[in-house]
Amino acid sequence: MTQIDLELKSMAKSALREYISRNSAIDWEQRRYEIAKDVLCAWYASGTIDGFSADAISSEVDDAVYVADTLIKKLREGGER
């Protein structure tokens, strides 16, 4: 392999790594939504939440978002170690 071939190969690998890195970034807002939704579904399925009044649902949604935020905070800390 010539020097030019080696440099092109190196540049291609570098570009591929950068592309994968940019496109595999975690969308934390999407994860937040998914986690909060899953928490609410689990609570309803387990019978933890009874009734469907607007006040009760609002409170449960706030709690589910809090759980999601707490989990995401821990996950992000783990990734930075």
Query: pLDDT exceeding 70 applies to what percent of the chain?
Result: 85
User: Which pLDDT score, from 0 to 100, does residue 36 have?
Assistant: 93
In this predicted structure, the answer to whether residue 81 has a pLDDT above a threshold of 70 is no
Tens of pLDDT, residues 16-52: 777 667 766 788 899 999 999 999 888 888 877 766 6
Average pLDDT score, the chain: 81
Residues in CB range of 36: below 8 A, 6 or more apart: 61, 64, 65, 67, 68
User: Which pLDDT score, from 0 to 100, does residue 50 have?
Assistant: 67
Residue 54 Cα distances to 29, 44, 57, 59, 61, angstroms: 24, 15, 5, 9, 10
